[in-house]
Amino acid sequence: MIEYSNILFCTDFSEDANIAFLHALNLARKYEARLHILHVPHSPYTYTRNVVDEDIPAGTSKDGEAFYDQAIIDEAQIKLRTAYQDRVGDFKNCEFVVACGAPDVEIIRYAKKSNIDLIVMGAQGKSESDRFERGKRWPAYRNMPIAMSWQSGAR
């Protein structure tokens, strides 16, 4: 039998992400799993890590994570909570997370760090629609030892 204890929902606030959220929340309720709601904002900085285990250059930030400033994190955290806090309703086993960097890398890094069993995201987000053909995802996800669920709205 399938069991999930940690479900990661990734959002860029697109229509497909909103549909994926409903799926992730239903699964978290069904399996009594912890729901991690993650957003990776677009950074104005040119350096972003593109390797999951890449070392971080010394002195890049207080916590050594990446090039970004606290205003980006704060704004993204507010946007994340505004979009999803009320929608989780009485479901309390969730957390809101903002990570800065390349989305595909940061999603994988967070999934590894948090022992994620299932990643749920929209099939085509805002930025991917310009960069990828429908149905194709970042190569970084290809060999993930985690179940993936892509949700798509009617087009």
CA dist 65 and 99 (Å) reads 9
Residues 6+ apart with CB under 8 A from 57: none
Q: Which of 5, 38, 2 is nearest to 21 (CA)?
A: 38
Q: What is the DSSP string of 134-150?
A: TT---GGGTT-SSEEEE
CA dist 126 and 15 (Å) reads 9
Which pLDDT belongs to residue 124? Answer: 67
Which pLDDT belongs to residue 86? Answer: 95
| 1 lies in some domain | no
Q: Which of 113, 112, 94, 98 is nearest to 40 (CA)?
A: 98
Which pLDDT belongs to residue 134? Answer: 39
Q: Report how many domains make up the chain.
A: 1
Tokens of 145: 């030892």
Which pLDDT belongs to residue 83? Answer: 96
**What CATH number did the domain enclosing 13 receive?**
3.40.50.620
Residues with pLDDT less than 50, the chain: 46, 48, 51-53, 62-66, 128-138, 155
Which pLDDT belongs to residue 64? Answer: 46
Provide the domain limits for residue 77: 6-151
Which pLDDT belongs to residue 105? Answer: 84
